[in-house]
Structure 1
Amino acid sequence: MGKTALLTASAMALAHAALAADAPKLSVTIYNADQALVQDQRLLDIAKGRQRLEFKDVSAAIRPETVTLSADAIGVVEQNFDYDLLTPGKLMEKAVGHEVTIVRTNPGNGQQVTEKATVLSANEGVVLKIGDRIEVLRDDDVPTRVIFDKVPDNLRAHPTLSVTVDSERAGQRLATLSYLTTGLSWKADYVALFDEKAAKLDLQGWITLENHSGAPYVGAETQLVAGHVQLAQGDDASDQSDGLAAVRAAGTEADEGPGKELGDYHIYSLPERTTIAQNQTKQVGFLQADGVAAHKVYQWSAGWFQTQQQPSAAVVVVDFVNSRGSGLAAGLPAGTMRVYERDTAGEPKFVGESQIGHTPQGSELAVKIGDAFDVTVQPTVTAETKISKTRTRYSMTYVARNARREPVTVELRQGGLWRDGKVLKESLQSRRIDAHTLGWSIPVPANGQTTLTFDVETGW
């Protein structure tokens, strides 16, 4: 083999290696606000000069104003989205003013009669002119066929995006088609198997994907964004551009990995490429954590300082911390958490469910599973003293009762404090939950009660 041939073979090998490294791929980034970013890479054979490229398998719910096509050495001249789909009704509408062929079959002898007809109207029925007479195309049991010469250019079997480009050179190259679409959504669901005696739970996370966009996404790298992206309202073009920039910014950084922070959002990458078929609901596992430290808590919350004439039930929650130390390695997207416990026979039984919000690492999760009617709390305002025009002192008594055969701890939450609110005295040690909330852990003996008293001063 000559030197020139060797150089040519080497150049071809390098070219193929470059194409393999940049192999076409499809990625879909799905947001919470019925928005998804599709980034579709394709290997196209593009001629030199002006030409029209057609993409027939794009979403039917595409937002045409968000489409971009990028490839080496091309410029985009014009783009059109044809969503007028080929149906019998649409075909007849497009034939108005044109000639078609009508074929009628006699049900008695099977004889066919063929006539030429001009379509005059296709509104609430089809009106035809056949020779010198006007007829309405009947919709009865008489077999009738309408034959058209061709399919109109603007009717498509599938939604089609056409882009007119001007190419500086001919040849095969990688092109990226990007657009926003509606019709794709996701949600998270969790299954927690709780062992109260061991104070642990096993947690599974599932992502449910739904596709009603009008197109399948085959072998797609799929990312999910937790958080609400700003979308412009109205027709102002500059506002739409700003909203699109925010969405694209989130999509382009998807390689940061599952559960990674992305600005003010969290992004999760599914572990494998997946196919999301049209009109399909698909579930994909994304989390498995065993032995997460957890315990059952009886919780009672008050939003303000008030007296209650009757005791009310505490709620039962399963409490755990979303941290690496607990066996969880990422933020948890919002969703429904369903809790199960094993019965005396060892069979898992459903005990309750609750919605959780987007939960970053380090956050405490309290999943409500029901009401504890044998654990109650009754608040009483024993004194309310006006200190000044803007400040008040409240004296509170809380009686926590436990009708169970074992002791419990009631986690009391008292809201209603302003930022400079302070505890003046208390019978049990409190802790600050947030700027407006105090918390107490109240131990209550079996078949007994505990009284918590405290004075707070708050205002502005």
Structure 2
Amino acid sequence: MKPTLFPCLAACLLTGVVSAQTAITVYNDNFGVVRDSVPLRLDQGITETSYSGVTAQLEPESVVLRDPSGQVALSVVEQSYRGDPVDQMKLLQMFEGETIDFLKGEAVVKGKIVRAPAQVMAKNQYGNQYQKMLEPIIEVDGKLQTSLPGTPLFPSLGDDSVLQPTLSWKLHSPEQAALDAQLSYLTYGMSWKADYNLVLPEEGDDLSLTGWVSIENNTGKTFEEAKIKLIAGDVNKVEEVGASVRSRPALAFAMDVAEKAPQVAEKKFDEFHMYTLPLPTTLRDRETKQVEFVRAEGVKSKKLYVYDGANIPNNWRYYGGVNQNQSYGQNDKPDVAIYREFKNSEENNLGVPLPAGRTRFYRMDDDGQLEFTGENTIDHTPKNETIRVYLGNAFDLVGERTRTNFYRHPSQDLIRESFEIEVRNRSEEPVTVQVVEHLYRWSNWEIQNPSHRFDKKDAQTIEFTATVEPDGSQTITYTVEYTW
């Protein structure tokens, strides 16, 4: 049975549908695309108009304003963006040098704003810059104080101030027209992530997988009843250049779902994957909203034990010459790692593109309670790929790696060394451990006298398999000869 792209929770989504609906596409990397409707009444020639329903982190260069019907030859002559809505600090700065009223309890006192509060750049003793807040200086009854004497009562909003982030345009039209223009723009402060809960029964390795998406809005704007899409994938974004979004016809996605509940729809979009929430939702500023988007039962998995005892740094390889360092090779890491592996395929009751996110594993205890057994992250995973997740180290398994012999030929063209790797099992059941060995000294090598069969994984890695009985041990020995 295929996984269900799950109905959104009723607590998360609202069912109302409005005309000229706001639409949002959220990307993984702290940005999104907003599409909104702006009512316009255009005169023949130049019309000046403003729209104050945009975010506080809008990219002005990315703004597209157009007639979606293509009936009005609308062109933008000039555009300006004000992202500094008025607040108390800005009003105090506007009235700097003037005397205003302050409400102190039930009394009103007059104070002159000698200096308004402001954020300035300063340097510390090490020469590093940081933001510093300048305190206000207020004169009350001929005396100066560095705090406000009460709640300021401003006589007006001041000149040239805006209450919300605002786009203003000078628009040209060859004739009078009234239309609902489509406004699209990129904005920062918007992101989403995926989380997966994977539950194992008391006995066995068949998983129950539930996937959630968390959408975070820090744009400075609340989106009412918006249609929301999520893009999964590594979309390149250049900081200085605006971007646009291309649309494509929707692709059908077959799902097995009960009744006719609204479902999260998934499709391939360009070189990425898109998830569309089925119902409009309100996404408030500084709100994080979770929606369950995938569920699968009976996902077959297996536990892997891996002992990689050499602890060779990833960047420690030969660079044009043989590696003769002897500081590595002993029992650097006695821990045996635990991995959980499963295939993202239809045959395994999955087979849907899984966005990158955190995976949390649970196991059912014999008292019916779920216990946490480890977590890690996965990358964007297409269908039919295998997922392997590191979950920690085994308590009852111990590895010990010893270099038993080292020989370097006087001519410096041969190194021979021998190893003994012992894996001890102190549990009450047999286990199979994959023993990983790194051949890091040179590209030409030969394994001599191995005690167990091994597989060559790549040009510098081999892997042995050791099955260890309860309260028993297994010892692997081999010699490797490097020549150049």
TM-score category, normalised to shorter length: 0.7 to 0.9
Report if the CA contact (8 A) 1:227-1:266 is conserved.
no
Q: Equivalent residues in 2 for 1:106-125 (5 A)? A: 122=116, 124-125=136-137
Matched, 1:182 2:188: yes
Counterpart of 1:339 (choices 338, 358, 361) is: 361
Separation of aligned partners in 1, 2:363 and 2:26: 33
1:195-230, Cα deviation, whole Å (9 max, x unpaired) = 363321101111112111101223132213332624
Matched, 1:429 2:462: no
Partner of 1:401: 424
Moved more, 175-184 or 285-294: 175-184
The Cα of 1:78 is off from its aligned counterpart by: 1.1
Partner of 2:90: 90
Counterpart of 1:274 (choices 270, 281, 285) is: 281
1:396-433, Cα deviation, whole Å (9 max, x unpaired) = 33211111111011122334467776656644333344
Change (3 A) 1:145 1:33: closer
Partner of 2:162: 156
Report if the CA contact (8 A) 1:303-1:415 is conserved.
no
Partner of 1:451: 475
Q: Secondary structure at the match of 2:355?
A: coil
Separation of aligned partners in 2, 1:147 and 1:183: 34
Matched, 1:27 2:23: yes
Report if the CA contact (8 A) 1:42-1:176 is conserved.
yes
Change (3 A) 1:144 1:224: closer
Unaligned runs of 5+ in 1: 1-22, 233-239
Separation of aligned partners in 1, 2:302 and 2:104: 77
Separation of aligned partners in 1, 2:204 and 2:367: 17
> Aligned letter for 1:87?
D
Moved more, 118-127 or 46-55: 118-127
1:232-278, Cα deviation, whole Å (9 max, x unpaired) = 4xxxxxxx33xx44xx35x6569567363743x55444454433210
Counterpart of 1:204 (choices 210, 214, 218) is: 210
1:268-314, Cα deviation, whole Å (9 max, x unpaired) = 44454433210101111122111100122222224549533487121
> Aligned letter for 2:469?
P
Separation of aligned partners in 1, 2:427 and 2:229: 49
Q: Secondary structure at the match of 1:65?
A: helix
Partner of 2:349: 327
Separation of aligned partners in 2, 1:459 and 1:211: 59
Report if the CA contact (8 A) 2:138-2:148 is conserved.
no
Partner of 1:17: none
Report if the CA contact (8 A) 1:378-1:399 is conserved.
yes
Q: Secondary structure at the match of 1:258?
A: strand
Partner of 1:79: 79
Counterpart of 1:440 (choices 464, 467, 470) is: 464
> Aligned letter for 2:266?
P
The Cα of 1:389 is off from its aligned counterpart by: 6.6
Bigger relative CO (Cα 8 Å, ≥ 6 apart): 2
Change (3 A) 1:337 1:118: closer
Partner of 1:229: 236
> Aligned letter for 1:260?
K
Counterpart of 1:56 (choices 52, 55, 68) is: 52
The Cα of 1:436 is off from its aligned counterpart by: 4.5
Change (3 A) 1:172 1:308: same
Report if the CA contact (8 A) 2:304-2:338 is conserved.
yes
Partner of 2:433: 410
Change (3 A) 1:69 1:421: farther
1:62-103, Cα deviation, whole Å (9 max, x unpaired) = 1223222222411111111112322344234334688x8869
Report if the CA contact (8 A) 2:202-2:364 is conserved.
no
Change (3 A) 1:161 1:390: farther
Unaligned runs of 5+ in 2: 1-18, 118-135, 252-264, 313-325
Report if the CA contact (8 A) 1:206-1:285 is conserved.
yes
% identical aligned pairs: 29
Separation of aligned partners in 2, 1:28 and 1:252: 13
> Aligned letter for 1:412?
V
Change (3 A) 1:145 1:172: closer
Separation of aligned partners in 1, 2:299 and 2:30: 33
Report if the CA contact (8 A) 1:336-1:353 is conserved.
yes
The Cα of 1:375 is off from its aligned counterpart by: 0.9
Change (3 A) 1:434 1:135: same
Q: Secondary structure at the match of 1:158?
A: coil
Report if the CA contact (8 A) 2:222-2:285 is conserved.
yes
Report if the CA contact (8 A) 1:27-1:40 is conserved.
yes
C-alpha RMSD of the superposition: 3.9
Moved more, 252-261 or 280-289: 252-261
Change (3 A) 1:103 1:296: closer
Q: Secondary structure at the match of 1:325?
A: helix
Separation of aligned partners in 2, 1:271 and 1:380: 59
TM score, norm. by length of structure 2: 0.72
Separation of aligned partners in 2, 1:191 and 1:395: 44
Change (3 A) 1:420 1:103: closer
TM score, norm. by length of structure 1: 0.75
Separation of aligned partners in 1, 2:24 and 2:434: 43
Separation of aligned partners in 2, 1:64 and 1:161: 9
Moved more, 337-346 or 216-225: 216-225
Change (3 A) 1:372 1:126: same
The Cα of 1:323 is off from its aligned counterpart by: 2.3
Partner of 2:373: 351
Separation of aligned partners in 1, 2:300 and 2:445: 33
Partner of 1:369: 391
